[in-house]
Structures are given as C-alpha cells and as structure tokens.
Amino acid sequence: MIDELYKEVILDHYKSPRNKRGIEAATCSSHGNNPLCGDEVTVYANVEDGQVTDAAFEGQGCSISQASASMMTDAVGGRSLDEVHSLTKEFRAMMAGESEPSEDELGDLAALRGVVRYPARIKCAVLAWDTLEQALEGGEARGAAAH
Ligand code: ZN
C-alpha cells in the first residue's frame, strides 16, 4: 500500500516533470549520465548571494532518474547553498540505506526510498544530485574567478 503510494509520486513526477526546462544564462550547469541505464540529465541553477534562486533540468531516461531530477529541482529552488548541501547529504544517506527519510525535510523525495532495495537503480536516483553538485562546484569556482 505504501509502496503503491510512492510509485504514484514517482510516476507523477516522471509524467509531469517540474522545472523541466533550460535556464538561459544560468550561473552554473552540468551534464551527467548513467551509462548503465542510459539516463542523461543536464542540471541548471542560478546562484545568487549563496542562494539557489532557480533550478531546472533537461534530460531523458528511466522514470527514477527523471523523477529524482524533478523532485530535486523542486526541493532545492529557493534554498541556501548550505541547505542544499545538507539536503544532498540526507538524500545520499537515504539512498545508502543509512537513514530513514524525514518527510518533513525530503518531501516527495522520500518516495525514492524504495529504490534502496534495487541496487542497480540507485545510480539512477542519485544521478541528478551528482550532476547538481558538479554544477554548483563549477559555478562557485567560476564565480570566484570572476572576482
Ligand atoms: Zn535509470
């Protein structure tokens, strides 16, 4: 029953992805792929004064990879970089089976907890997060270089 509910949430994000668009002149972006499954995702973020003011993605692949990207962009938009880093840590801990998700913190992302039982699909779920991390690292470095 609970599994069915989670499946619904994942399929909803897959069929009607949030923030699936490019951001023109995004302060940072990165492309990631998961060759094991054929998932691809490009993550865009605008970072201003240590805050992610906008986040979006484009991509294709399995429902888990695309739903995770949709949920992630929804979750990180409007958050400070510190909050984004701690959310990333929490999500990774959940996907590693190290912690029970707090739905208050993770919201829809908690629906991906069931993926832990399918080790081959964990990469699908974390792809967007790895890509976001790369984008933010590159973006910060680029920002620093500009000063
Ligand atoms: Zn996949």
- CATH code of the domain covering residue 37: 3.90.1010.10
pLDDT for 2: 63
57 bridge partner residues: 20, 43
> Would the pTM of this model clear 0.95, i.e. be above it?
no
Q: Consecutive sets of 10 residues in the chain, 147 residues long: mean pLDDT of each?
A: 81 97 95 97 97 98 98 97 96 92 87 91 97 85 41
The domain total for the chain is 1
Cα of 32 to ligand 1 centre, how many Å? 12
Which residues have a beta carbon within 5 Å of ligand 1, which is an ion?
Answer: 37, 39, 62, 65, 124
Give φ, ψ of 41 to 5 degrees: -150, 140
In angstroms, the Cα distances linking 137 to 22, 60, 122, 142 are: 19, 23, 22, 9
Order of strands across the sheet with 51-60?
Answer: 28-34, 39-48, 51-60
Cα of 60 to ligand 1 centre, how many Å? 9
For residue 10, what are the domain limits? 2-146
Give one DSSP letter per residue of 92-129, joined into a string. HHHHTTSS---HHHHGGGGGGGGGGG-HHHHHHHHHHH
pLDDT for 100: 84
pLDDT for 5: 78
Give φ, ψ of 135 to 5 degrees: -60, -45
